[in-house]
Amino acid sequence: MLENLHFWDLSIIGGYFAIVLWIAWWASEGGGSNKKKSDLDSSDYFLAGKNEGWFVIGASLFASNIGSEIILGVSGAGARAEMPQANFEILASLILILLGWVFVPFYLRTGVYTMPEFLELRYSKACRNYLSVVSVLAYVLTKISLIIFAGALVFETMGIPFWTGAIVTVLATGFYTVLGGLKAVIYTDMIQTFILLIGTAAVTYFGLSQLGGWDAMVEAISQASLEAGNPPVDRFFNLWRAIGDSDYPWTGMLFGAPILGVWYWCTDQFIVQRTLSAKDLSNARKGTLFAGFLKLLPVFLFFLPGVIAYALAQKGMLDFSLDNPDQALPAMITGFLPVGLKGLAISGLLAALMSSLSSAFNSSSTLITIDFYKQYKPKATEKELVWVGQIATVLLVIFSLGWIPFMKTLMGGGIFRYLQSVQAYISPPIAAVFLFGLYFQWINAKGAIVSLWTGFGLGILRLVTEFMSKEGIIQIAEDSFLGILLSINFLHYAIILFVFSAAVLMLVSKMGQPQSAEVLRLVTFQKKDVKPKVALSSDAWLTILLIIGVLLIWWIFSPLGIG
């Protein structure tokens, strides 16, 4: 099973698990605070005591996002010359700026534990219940399932059976999440971030070395492009494609992807919970900016190894089938890394899997505890809430293990494409309700709930129709309403759905009465929030630098740059 791994590789992997479990024990004992284990309350368990600094928060934001499905998907995009897909990673840097400057101040000053809780403060309990149910179902049936499935595929390429890899990782991740709560999650995320970056950097370096450098890689791709059916060189290094030339046209990436980004990075419990653990606004904002800089790296550390794998396969130097491009990075690890670094890179893939999975477990248990149990039993003690959160995580672990056989049957290729398309169908109404609700005080609860359910219905209509059509359950004429609906690119559909949801939100709100000024005081922009400043703060300079970094990458990987 592990015959292709040296003793030192196995020792490094074992050391990685030991560090993760030690951090979980440390967090369960108080995690450096003055509190005893018996004195830890729900704030300690779900929000890490609200005492974390920017470095830990930024690393945790990055690690929570980068799961096995992201690594496999982005490196697979590189192998099949689908670079526009990497725009999701780059755009995240800009959306993280929005999180730090626009959303986080509201979340921190209201003192909320969950995003549905904030939605109740802004609108109504009905809106809170909607987001709670949708979020938990989405975590269990998409995030957790996809993370486990993608991670198990990674293990298969390492010679570890699918079931063994999936079960061991779920149990280990569930154990340290139950034991230490959010503090265990974010501190293991910090360690896992750097293991992941070092491991993937090693893959990129050794892969390029085998080819003979950048120019040799481009030459190998150029030679392959002369053969029928192989993509030309420019398709590997161009982030911007025309409509019809890709699943990710420039119009969809520029206007549709940010809608998914606002939902995921600014309103999803899975991500935002890390910023809620900050000791103050400055650390929360710097943490989002730090994560933004880290999100510039996947283009070079995840996408580029896929391109290198393609070039190596064309030269017959790598046993890698382009029929399954999502295995590009694992094939590079097993094919070229020396003893020791191979163990480190495998630990990096484990880190990606476990950090995302632990975040999904912790966020789901927080929602179940705060938005369901505490609503049912408002007088529950702090210890009782912690206990319920731990039990909820255990149940999620059990459910995840039970879901594995169904995943293997239901899931196929195109993991990243599937994930983004599902998000495109559920995120637009949520993004509209959050974003416009902050800026326009006249938008009310009735407008919000009508917009949420209307948008949800249109999103599910597209999702179910697409599934039934692909499975051959129904036949749809191209010129019918459903045929036209399916012909729209999923990112363009997200734009349409966002605009429609926003229109419903505003129209229904205009027909009713705005909520009282007292209710809106902490959850909408007020005139006092606009304070002219003469000198730019360090946060502002970091923001400008991050924007320049994004623009530079966009220029380099465009028809005007090396593309």
Give, for all 563 residues of the chain, the pLDDT tens digit: 455 677 888 888 888 878 877 877 776 665 555 555 455 555 655 565 566 789 989 988 998 888 766 787 788 888 888 888 888 999 999 999 999 999 999 999 998 888 999 999 999 999 999 999 888 877 776 677 777 776 676 677 667 776 777 777 777 777 767 766 667 777 777 787 888 888 889 889 998 998 989 888 988 888 888 776 788 888 888 888 877 777 788 899 999 999 999 999 999 888 898 898 888 999 999 999 999 999 999 999 889 999 999 999 888 888 777 777 877 888 888 777 888 888 888 877 777 777 777 778 878 888 888 888 888 888 888 788 888 888 888 887 777 677 666 555 444 445 566 667 778 888 999 999 999 999 999 999 999 999 999 999 999 888 888 877 776 777 887 778 888 888 898 899 999 999 999 999 999 999 988 888 888 888 998 776 656 555 678 899 999 999 999 999 999 988 776 65
Closest CA to 255 of 500, 498, 554: 498
Closest CA to 426 of 490, 371, 367: 490
Q: What are phi and psi of 541, to 5 degrees?
A: -65, -40
Angle between helices 269-276 and 341-366 (to 10 degrees): 90
Predicted TM-score of the model (pTM): 0.85
Q: What is the mean pLDDT of the chain?
A: 82
Give the 3-state secondary structure of 487-526: HCCHHHHHHHHHHHHHHHHHHHHHCCCCCCHHHHCCCCCC
CA–CA separation, 537 and 524 (whole Å): 24
Give per-residue burial for 467-489: e unless 16+ CB within 10 Å, then b. Answer: eeeeeeeeebeeeeebeebbeeb
CA–CA separation, 412 and 508 (whole Å): 41
CA–CA separation, 328 and 321 (whole Å): 8
Encoding tokens for residue 369?
């505890």
| Cα 116 to Cα 2, 31, 298, 346, distances in angstroms | 45, 28, 31, 36
Encoding tokens for residue 303?
């996408």
Closest CA to 563 of 54, 87, 183: 87
Rg (CA), the chain: 23
What is the total residue count of the chain?
A: 563
DSSP annotation of 66 reads -
Q: What pLDDT is stored for residue 164 in this prediction? A: 77
Q: What pLDDT is stored for residue 292 in this prediction? A: 96
Q: What pLDDT is stored for residue 530 in this prediction? A: 59
Q: What are phi and psi of 278, to 5 degrees?
A: -70, 150
Q: What stretch of H or E contains 551?
A: helix 538-556
Could you tell me which residues come within 8 angstroms of residue 226 by beta carbon, excluding any fewer than 6 positions away? none
CA–CA separation, 357 and 270 (whole Å): 10
DSSP annotation of 52 reads B
Sole residue written with tokens 């609860």: 445
Residue 285 in contact with residue 104, Cβ under 8 Å?
Answer: yes
Q: What are phi and psi of 206, to 5 degrees?
A: -70, -30
Residue 246 in contact with residue 84, Cβ under 8 Å?
Answer: yes
Angle between helices 162-211 and 341-366 (to 10 degrees): 130
Q: What digits encode the pLDDT tens for the residues 270-320?
A: 889 889 888 899 999 999 999 999 999 999 988 999 999 999 988 888 877
CA–CA separation, 151 and 167 (whole Å): 11
Could you tell me which residues come within 8 angstroms of residue 69 by beta carbon, excluding any fewer than 6 positions away? 146, 147, 149, 150, 356, 415, 416, 419
First to last CA, the chain: 42
Domains of the chain listed by start with CATH number: 1-29+50-111+136-413+536-563 (1.20.1730.10), 422-523 (no CATH)
Encoding tokens for residue 16?
């990685």
